[in-house]
Amino acid sequence: MRTRNTSAWLLLLAAAGTTVAMSPAPIAMTKANGFDPLGQWFDGVRLLKQKQPPAADVAAAKKKDIAIVGAGVSGLTTYLLLHQAGFTNVQVLEASNRLGGRVHTQYLTGGPWDYSYQELGAMRLPVDYIDPDSKKKYNISDTQLVFELINELNRLNGGERSPHHIKLIEWIEKSDNGLQYFNGIRTPSGLPPTVKQVAKEPGKYDSPEIHDADTKATDKKLQDSLPGNTFLLQMAKSMYKAHRQWIDGGLLDGAEPGDRWSEFSFLLQYLKGSLNSTDVLDLQQDPQGSFWESMYDGLYEDSDSWATIDGGMSRLPMAFGPLLEESNNTIRFNTRIERITHSDEGTKPGQGKKLSLLYKNNFRDAAFQKSIHDYAIVSAPFTVVRQWRLPSLPATMRNAINNLVYDGNCKVGLEYSHRFWETMQNPIVGSCSTKTDIPGIFMVCYPSYNVGPGVNNSGPATIMASYIDSSFAHEVARMRTMSDEEHVQYVLDAMSEIHGEETRKLYTGKWARKCWDLDPYTAGAFANPSAGQHELYIPVYMQVHKNMIFIGEHTSYTHGWISAAVDSGIRGAVQMMLELGLVDEAKAAVEKWMAPWVKT
């Protein structure tokens, strides 16, 4: 195999009058360079000793042709940071015809200010947490990343006068008047009992599950094995530090690494519970996963207050619109990547290899269209990427793409002519407190928007009449087999059964249904890794593979929450800067986006 004498080759080019730009050395985000991929990764940026390259090299680096694949929150966040750092040749390629990815508000009547909409994806933001030991209130720091993103977009768009202004309002999480419809039990009024009624007279309206002696004993062992309030507070202050602590010794006060044990194996094999007690106590009915999801979801669900976006969560990605419109051809919709090649094609001497992103205008086309770039930052979920043909990748990265486990869910929204739930004998204002054992329904959420004294909410409004995740509600598999019309009818019948048959006539006939497993651009709701997949895979996400960087909520720590998408978007931009040797830009990004919010 012939080798090239690089120094001599550069001298020959220079003698021939060819300008040669020397690219700064890439800085890998590895443990050897002082980075902690499984913890506060950004601390490694702040501690870098490398110097900024010469101005000419910086200018050349910022002209690199970079593609961002996917216009969800992670990809848009990466675009924002690169744009603000002075990168001038960044293009966003989006498979669908809209911004937002799994942030998707469906407007059933009119637009945002007609207030009849349903969140088919992300719908709420946990704000703060009260430590039960000290009784002090703490901001949930990773959510602060989302709030800072909102503040930055509002600033860029001109503040409250802008049609793109994002206003946060309270999300009402709980209501004592939520209905509890289990085993067909109703009160004398004909309606199911409320949360308050069930709590006031335990055993009258519910049938408490009575555990056998082995299950009780195993549950006691489990509670003693899981981290307590101190760990929850650490998650609120820094999810990054908490994640590192979990990886190193999350179970049994540090004696066992948290990500090495699945829920099933820990209960059955370590705690020596029976098969029955293991089945009963599996917190997520997700036996292949570790307890990590239960831990961070537990923190979020215990939040003292919540927020959402007035007019719908889609207003967050839509607020990137003016930024994308500043330059022509910044975003290309309906570009569904199917293949990526890494080769010398389209390059000049000394440029190195480039990426060719291949797509079709129509799936029936025989020929592919091509988009050639120096780098690609891929935010598409691995459920989609695993269908692509890719360059040869290291085994661990290839396995991450092929094997990372995902959860699925279905949501169904129904519009009613008026808010009957707010005029019942026990009014329900907001919340997701109505629960049921009707298969395929699980939880009902009422709108938190356009509520309160003096608000004109006489028009139609929409409830989320069914919300189920497939990891713990396996009947979602049956729901997915239904047509839209059959599924909607099934949910409408359930709502009429719960709230009273007289409510059926108030249904306007408008609905929204989303089963994310069936969406061709996502093929799943959010990542739900099995035991060991965090510890093994996350470090390889922070490496550059054949000029590709992988981002998205699936590459962060808290799957299914917008904060994970924002975190990965920031990391992807910083990673791109360091790949090009732009130390000052990377440090500036970290100081702006990470340092102020994450408490150590």
Torsion of CA 512, 515, 519, 521, to 10 degrees: 100
- Per-residue pLDDT averaged across 270-296, rounded? 88
Asked if the model's pLDDT at residue 4 lies above 50, the reply is: no
pLDDT (tens digit per residue) in 21-63: 556 889 999 999 999 999 999 999 999 999 999 999 999 999 9
Q: What pLDDT shows up at residue 366?
A: 95
Q: What pLDDT shows up at residue 324?
A: 95
Asked if the model's pLDDT at residue 448 lies above 60, the reply is: yes
pLDDT above 90 covers a percentage of the chain that reads 85
Q: What pLDDT shows up at residue 346?
A: 61
DSSP letters, 326-391, are TSTTSEE-S--EEEEEEESTT--TTS--EEEEEE-SSTT-SSPEEEEESEEEE-S-HHHHTTSB--
Per-chain mean pLDDT for the chain: 93
Asked if the model's pLDDT at residue 469 lies above 70, the reply is: yes
- How far apart (Å, rounded) are the C-alpha atoms in residues 589 and 42? 10
Label each residue of 5-63 as H, E or C.
CHHHHHHHHHHCCCCCCCCCCCCCCCHHHCCCCCCCCCHHHHCCCCCCCCHHHHHHHCC
Residue 499: alpha-carbon gap to chain centroid: 32
Indicate the fold that domain 174-208+409-523 takes in CATH: Polyamine Oxidase; Chain A, domain 2 (3.90.660)
Using DSSP, state whether 206 is helix, strand or coil: coil
What is the pTM (predicted TM-score) of this model? 0.94
pLDDT band at 592 (very low <50, low <70, confident <90, very high): very high
Element (H, E) at 510: strand 507-515
Give which of 541, 514, 545 is closest to 100, Cα–Cα: 514
DSSP letters, 221-234, are HHHHHS--HHHHHH
Beta bridge partners of 152: none
Residue 64: DSSP 8-state = -
Q: What pLDDT shows up at residue 9?
A: 39
Largest CA distance in the chain: 95
- Which position has the higher pLDDT, 129 or 24? 129
Asked if the model's pLDDT at residue 207 lies above 80, the reply is: no
Residue ranges per structural domain of the chain: 19-99+320-405+524-593, 174-208+409-523, 212-301
**How far, CA to CA in Å, does 133 sit from each of 41, 126, 229, 243, 477?**
29, 20, 7, 21, 42
- Cβ atoms within 10 Å, residue 335: 21
Q: What is the assigned CATH class of domain 19-99+320-405+524-593?
A: alpha beta
pLDDT band at 282 (very low <50, low <70, confident <90, very high): confident
Give which of 318, 317, 366 is closest to 338, Cα–Cα: 366
